[in-house]
Every structure is written in C-alpha cells, then in structure tokens.
C-alpha cells in the first residue's frame, strides 16, 4: 500500500494517513482481513514520527475501519468496512468543499439534515 502525505496541506499528517487507508479500502486495493504496514515502516518511509501514523490508525479504529491487534498490527476490519470507508471519504470531501466555500459547521449540518429530510 502506498502512503502519501503533503506537509503543505492544512490537514494533519495523521489525518492524511487515515485518508490514504480510507481511500484504499473504498477502492478495493486493500480488503477485509488484510494487514496494513506497521506504523514504524510507514513512518520511516515518509520521514515522519511513528506516533503520527499511530494517530491516523487510531482514528480509523474509532471509525470501525480497522482493528489494532497487539503483536499483529493493524488489520482491515470485516463487515461493511468498504462501504463505510467510501462514505467516510465522501464525508471528508463534503467537509473540505464546505470549508472551501466558507460554510460553517452549522450550515453543513443543516444541509445534510435537509438532504435526509428530502430522502436523498
């Protein structure tokens, strides 16, 4: 799996690591049960701190996309993880687009609520 980070982006490096994995799950390049590279290996290849990678992996665990297993590392979670990953990618894009347009959190939430009410 290829990881890329861009130090010039306003997104934290840990969030960029998480986005890399979300995208890979969403496009099927990593599958349920597949092990992710160790945080140490990712950190060394990108020239960043291992704890930064672990923060990205932790975020993915909180989202239910990966499992962190002591001694076995990070593994893509079973179940509907690819669908969840795709939704997470789309949600992150929505938020990024909203930020670019200058929308507040309340405005974004109101937009999503209208879509839900409309049955979209």
Note the pTM of the prediction, 2 decimals: 0.73
What is residue 32's predicted lDDT score, i.e. its pLDDT?
87
Residue 19 located in a structural domain? yes
User: Each residue's pLDDT tens digit in the chain (120 positions)?
Assistant: 789 999 998 889 999 999 999 888 888 899 888 999 999 999 999 999 999 999 999 999 988 889 998 888 999 987 666 677 778 778 888 998 999 999 999 999 999 999 999 987
For residue 103, the model assigns a pLDDT of 95
Give a yes or no: residue 8 inside a domain: no
Structure tokens at 9: 């982006």
Q: Is position 22 within any domain?
A: yes
In the numeric block, the tokens 């490096």 are attached to: 13
Residues 48, 70: Cα–Cα separation, whole Å: 22
Residue 82 is predicted with a pLDDT of: 62
Q: Rounded to 5 degrees, what angle do the CA atoms 54, 57, 63 make?
A: 145
Q: Identify whether 3 is part of a domain.
A: no
Q: Give exposure, 32-71, as e/b (b: 16+ Cβ within 10 Å).
A: eeeebbebeebbeebebeeebbbbbbbbbeebebbbeeee
DSSP annotation string for 51-75 = HHHHHHHHHHHHTTSEEEETTTEEE
Query: Where does the chain have alpha helices with state H?
Result: 13-26, 39-46, 50-62, 81-101, 105-117
Report if residue 1 sits inside a domain. no
What pLDDT score was predicted for residue 79?
Answer: 67
| Residue 103 maps to a domain | yes
Residue 2 lies in a domain: no
Question: Range of 40's domain?
Answer: 13-117
Q: What is the domain count for the chain?
A: 1
Q: Residue 76 belongs to a domain with what CATH number?
A: 1.10.10.10
């Amino acid at each position: 799996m290829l990881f890329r980070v861009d130090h010039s982006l306003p997104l934290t490096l840990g969030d960029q690591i998480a986005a890399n994995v979300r995208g890979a799950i969403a496009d099927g390049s990593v599958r349920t049960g597949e092990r992710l590279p160790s945080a140490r290996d990712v950190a060394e290849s990108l020239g960043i701190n291992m704890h930064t990678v672990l923060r990205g992996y932790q975020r993915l665990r909180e989202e239910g996309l990966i499992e962190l297993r002591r001694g076995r590392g990070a593994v893509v979670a079973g179940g509907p993880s690819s669908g969840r990953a795709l939704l997470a990618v789309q949600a992150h894009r929505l938020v990024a687009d909203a930020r670019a347009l200058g929308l507040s959190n309340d405005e974004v939430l109101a937009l999503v609520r209208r879509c839900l009410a409309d049955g979209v």
